[in-house]
């Protein structure tokens, strides 16, 4: 995949605040499993780009399979935040167990205040999965963001390939 094409598409995404981080990670896990099934030489690498605001839990409990009900107001008021973080941690453990490499990019521009918990969430994802963490913070331009983060991700790719025994 051309990373520059992906970057340009990411820069144009609309943000709603109502996407489950854990659900996105599970979907990426499915895509990586399918890629590995098609080509056994594939090295699965999940790049997670997030502000770390885990505020929407999974609709189905990973532990019990129960269907959960949530309302928009509860999500806005962060009523389900603790449950959402637990889901992210559970999915992170699944990813680690399956040997998926991770690169976590935290896009949260807030260094202080309520939103800083996103750094804790992304640190936990990287720590649990054994992945790398990159913090975007307050970049001056999309170009700077793209150049710096892609440079760091390229270095991550080299390290992952080296660990997997595929030297490029």
Please report, for the domain that includes residue 97, its CATH number: 3.40.50
Q: Quick check: is 1 in a domain?
A: no
Query: Residue 122: which H helix or E strand, with range?
Result: helix 117-129
pLDDT of residue 104: 93
Two tokens at 98? 């399956």
Q: Quick check: is 44 in a domain?
A: yes
Instruction: For the chain of 168 residues, list the mean pLDDT of each consecutive stretch of 10.
Output: 60 66 95 92 90 90 90 83 95 96 85 65 96 78 74 82 67
Q: Quick check: is 129 in a domain?
A: yes
Domain containing residue 65: 15-163
pLDDT of residue 98: 94
pLDDT of residue 108: 79
Two tokens at 111? 């260094």
- In the block, which residue shows the tokens 């040997």? 99
pLDDT of residue 168: 46
Q: Quick check: is 40 in a domain?
A: yes
Q: How many domains does the chain have?
A: 1
Q: Quick check: is 8 in a domain?
A: no
Query: Residue 84: which H helix or E strand, with range?
Result: helix 81-97
Q: What is the dihedral of CA 72, 21, 152, 40, to 10 degrees?
A: -150
Q: What are phi and psi of 101, to 5 degrees?
A: -80, 145
Q: Quick check: is 115 in a domain?
A: yes
Q: Quick check: is 168 in a domain?
A: no
Cα 108 to Cα 68, 79, 115, distances in angstroms: 28, 21, 8
pLDDT of residue 110: 66
pLDDT of residue 19: 76
Q: Quick check: is 42 in a domain?
A: yes
């Amino acid at each position: 995949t051309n990373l520059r094409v992906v970057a340009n598409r990411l820069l144009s995404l609309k943000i709603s605040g109502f996407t489950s981080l854990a659900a996105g990670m599970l979907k990426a896990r499915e895509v990586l499993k399918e890629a590995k099934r098609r080509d056994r030489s594939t090295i699965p690498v999940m790049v997670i780009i997030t502000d770390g605001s885990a505020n929407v839990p999974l609709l189905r409990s990973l532990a019990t399979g129960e269907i959960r009900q949530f309302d928009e107001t509860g999500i806005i008021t962060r009523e389900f935040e603790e449950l959402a973080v637990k889901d992210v941690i559970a999915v992170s453990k699944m990813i680690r167990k399956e040997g998926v490499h991770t690169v976590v990019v935290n896009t949260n521009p807030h260094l202080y205040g309520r939103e800083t918990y996103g750094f804790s969430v992304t640190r936990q994802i990287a720590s649990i999965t054994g992945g790398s963490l990159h913090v975007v913070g307050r970049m001056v331009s999309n170009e700077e963001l793209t150049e710096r983060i892609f440079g760091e991700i390229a270095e991550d790719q080299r390290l992952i390939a080296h660990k997997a025994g595929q030297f490029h």
